Each structure stands twice: as C-alpha cells, then as structure tokens.
Amino acid sequence: MASTRHFRRLLYDLAGAVTDTSMNVDGSSTAVVFHSPVGRGQTMQIDRLVFVIESTGMDWSTSEIQDFGAVGAALGTGVTCTHLQGTLTTDIFLEAVQSMADFYRYIDSDSVVNLVDGVAAGTDTVTFEVTLSPPAFLKHEYARATAQDNIACKVSDDLTSLTDFKVFAVGTLLQVEDGLGR
C-alpha cells in the first residue's frame, strides 16, 4: 500500500554501537559520518537540511561568526554533506563548512534563527536551514542489495566543545512498498 506523508528525521551515526544523533563528536583522527538512509521499500524526497547548533559564544559578535561555536576558531577540515543516490555521489556543499559564516553560502539569510541564551544561561542556539535544489530523492527497493541511498554529513574535526549539534532531513515520504513490489 502506498502512502504520502511529511517527515523530519535526524541524521545518525550508523557505525556507532548505539545509533547516535548528536554530532558534537571528535572526528579529528577518524571522521564520523551521520546518515539519513531510507528504509526498505521507501521512497523519500528531502527538501531541506536543518542544522541546529548549541554552544557558548554564538551571539554574532565581530569574531564569533568566523568561529564554529565553542570550538573557538574556524574548523581545520570542517563538515561536509553529500547525497548518495545509487552509485552517484553529489556534494551538497561546494566546500566544507568550517565556520558559522560558511553556512551563509548555502541558505536564505532569513532562515537563520539565533537565540542567545536560548537553551540555558550562557548556551546559545543557532539554526541554519539549507534548501536542496533540486530536492534529493532517496529510494530503497526491497530487491536491491547495494548501498542505500542517503544524505550523509561527515564531521572531520573535534566538535566535543559544542553543547549539541544535530542535522534534520526534512521532506516527504512519497511511497512505502509492502515488500511484494506493490
């Protein structure tokens, strides 16, 4: 039976012992990749990615926008995001995001929400919404045994000083097959 519904899903670490959604990890020696794979028999359209960062020191003073939150500097390698569809991999960002200012290359400026002390006193929150144009289509057929289509974000720096860092894939679940090819 086919159905259509909107969804919002956190990217998570598939390789970890427990599927973890918090991207404030140390990827400096071994990169950590977070995915939003599609489930068996599903077809999804991802319209946007929403990056949510909680940290100290993000009130957009003159130098803080050049940093990556409490990391206190621009990242050395940064965060990259890709779309894997079948055997085709497409970069979502042309260059790695290494500072808060780098997000402005990929967003509409009115999609940024910055809440000083938004979580607790001294902890600021910022969200960046990146619209995917064209949208990313992810499909996982029951019969296909190859790698799943997915959206992946790779952390290649130490982000443990952030209070939290999450990425949501937002879109539409277009179809769910019942395993019988219907």
Q: What tokens were used for 104? A: 């402005």
161 vs 120, residue with greater confidence:
161
Provide mean pLDDT across the span 166-180.
77
Q: What is the pLDDT of residues 12-61, one digit of tens each?
A: 787 764 567 889 999 999 999 988 877 777 788 899 999 998 887 676 66
Give residue 179's pLDDT: 52
Q: What is the pLDDT of residues 81-133, one digit of tens each?
A: 999 888 889 999 999 999 888 988 888 767 677 666 666 677 788 888 998 88
Estimate to the nearest angstrom the gap between the alpha carbon of 159 and the chain centroid: 14
Give residue 142's pLDDT: 59
Beta-carbon contacts of 121 under 8 Å, excluding residues fewer than 6 positions away, are none
Give residue 181's pLDDT: 47
Report the DSSP beta bridge partners of residue 115: 125
Q: How far apart are CA 28 and CA 139, in angstroms?
A: 31
